[in-house]
Amino acid sequence: MVVGVIDVLKAVEQYPRYIKLRGELESSINDYEAQLKQMSARVDELRGTIQVLAEGSQDRADKEFEYQMLMQTQDYRRKAYRDRMQQQDLRNTLTVYEDLEYVIGVVAKRKGVGIVLTKQDITPSAQSIEEMSEKEVQVRVKAYDRRQVWFATKEVDLTGAVIKELMIPVPDRNSPERAPKPTPGGKE
């Protein structure tokens, strides 16, 4: 059986659809941050106004109420937006992974590969292990723990072929090309 490997991160980072989805998400985040900045400016303005109004006055009470409502609104919007963005990021990731799975299958079949494993290159640090922060040491150890392939020759690396295939528009997930093909005996 022929085995192939792929650097999934490298392939995903060059996938045009991923780049587009990431750009849309970043644009949405930038728009939200601009809105949040406007709200923060209004909060600062109210805080300044409250400080100059007479203690116990109706105007001050009204501004304090408006300030409290604006703070609650800001907190709610932050949480709701963060939750929406996390959900959208997960949906984007699933979309990209499904496309990648399809393309890997196409490339593997074309090359006669029976199994494709994930490889992950871990770039050596310029620092000595003793000089690394605890967090960096933990991150690197976890990366090695998750590693599925410790060595692969260039001949079995399908990353370049998969990236090349990803540059061609990938059929929609509901298209006939991506439908499971029945196998003899009715099993998939």
Q: Kindly report the pTM of this predicted structure.
A: 0.75
Whether the per-residue pLDDT at 184 is higher than 80: the answer is: no
Across residues 126-152, what is the average pLDDT? Answer: 91
The pLDDT confidence band at residue 187, using thresholds 50, 70 and 90, is low
Whether the per-residue pLDDT at 93 is higher than 90: the answer is: yes
The chain-wide mean pLDDT, for the chain, equals 92
Percent of the chain with pLDDT over 70: 97
Between CA 178 and CA 95 the distance in angstroms is 13
Across residues 162-170, what is the average pLDDT? Answer: 94
Across residues 33-46, what is the average pLDDT? Answer: 92
Whether the per-residue pLDDT at 158 is higher than 90: the answer is: yes
- CA dihedral in degrees (170, 176, 177, 180; nearest 10)? 120
Whether the per-residue pLDDT at 73 is higher than 60: the answer is: yes
Across residues 127-133, what is the average pLDDT? Answer: 92
Across residues 22-49, what is the average pLDDT? Answer: 93
